[in-house]
Amino acid sequence: MSALTDSLTQIGYSLRSCLTGLKVVYFNWWKFRERKQTVMYPLEEIVYSPNHRGALVFRPERCIVCELCEKACPVPGTRTEKTIEIYHHVGATKKRELDEFYIDYGSCINCYLCVEACPVDALLPGASFELATIDPDAQYDRSRMIYGMGQLSLQPESAERGSFEHAYEYVPRDRPFDAAVSLGEDEDPAEETASAGESSGAASA
Ligand code: SF4
Ligand code: SF4
């Protein structure tokens, strides 16, 4: 008899928890029935909140080449020692002058430690995402995700909208990528010669 009572009690608990779950679902469905919950991505644009951690923005004109961001970065790059790589020279006034600033988005975890380390707000939180879709070759070659300061300075800041459509606006597809041009480790000399020939042909035309 007590076994039957126990079973009925268990069934009662189960039914009650099921009904509680259904009540929550029904309540939320009714409450938010007018609000669209699903975005047909990528056909529809996703608008992220302003504090979304998107691609970093770099302001070269503010950078004092202190390298604090590079030191703060905890992640090694896919092809370089650090996710951030800074190249500089000492100018005529004995001050460091920035030559190039790279962020490897193949390894960056968007922790923003570099943003916190920067004393002059040269690195800022950004809004854009889907960086790999900006350059389709990045799906097959992660070095295509090494962004130079040319791209980083064009990224939207976090207060701006950061969808892929806007990212396209900021980094046009036909723009050569700084990283691919400047790093050049995997460049095929034959290909280089051919492209040089093509460009000189185009110039003469
Ligand atoms: S966000 Fe983090 S991982 Fe990315 S470059 Fe900055 S410090 Fe490095
Ligand atoms: S911490 Fe800021 S100022 Fe210093 S090198 Fe990095 S971006 Fe430039």
For the structural domain made of 56-161, what CATH number should be given?
A: 3.30.70.3270
Minimum CA distance residue for ligand 1 atom 4: 108
Q: Could you tell me which residues are beta bridge partners of residue 16?
A: none
Ligand 1 near 73 CB (within 6 A): yes
Give the residue among 157, 168, 173 at the shortest CA–CA distance from 121.
Answer: 157
Stretch among 42-46, 62-66, 125-129, 195-199 having the lowest mean pLDDT: 195-199
Q: How far apart are CA 133 and CA 164, in angstroms?
A: 8
Instruction: Please identify, by atom number, the ligand 1 atom nearest to the C-alpha of residue 117.
Output: 7
Q: How far apart are CA 179 and CA 176, in angstroms?
A: 9
The domain limits of the chain are 56-161
Report the predicted TM-score, pTM, of the whole model to 2 decimal places.
0.62
- Residue percentage of the chain with pLDDT more than 90: 35
- Average pLDDT of the residues in 174-191: 44
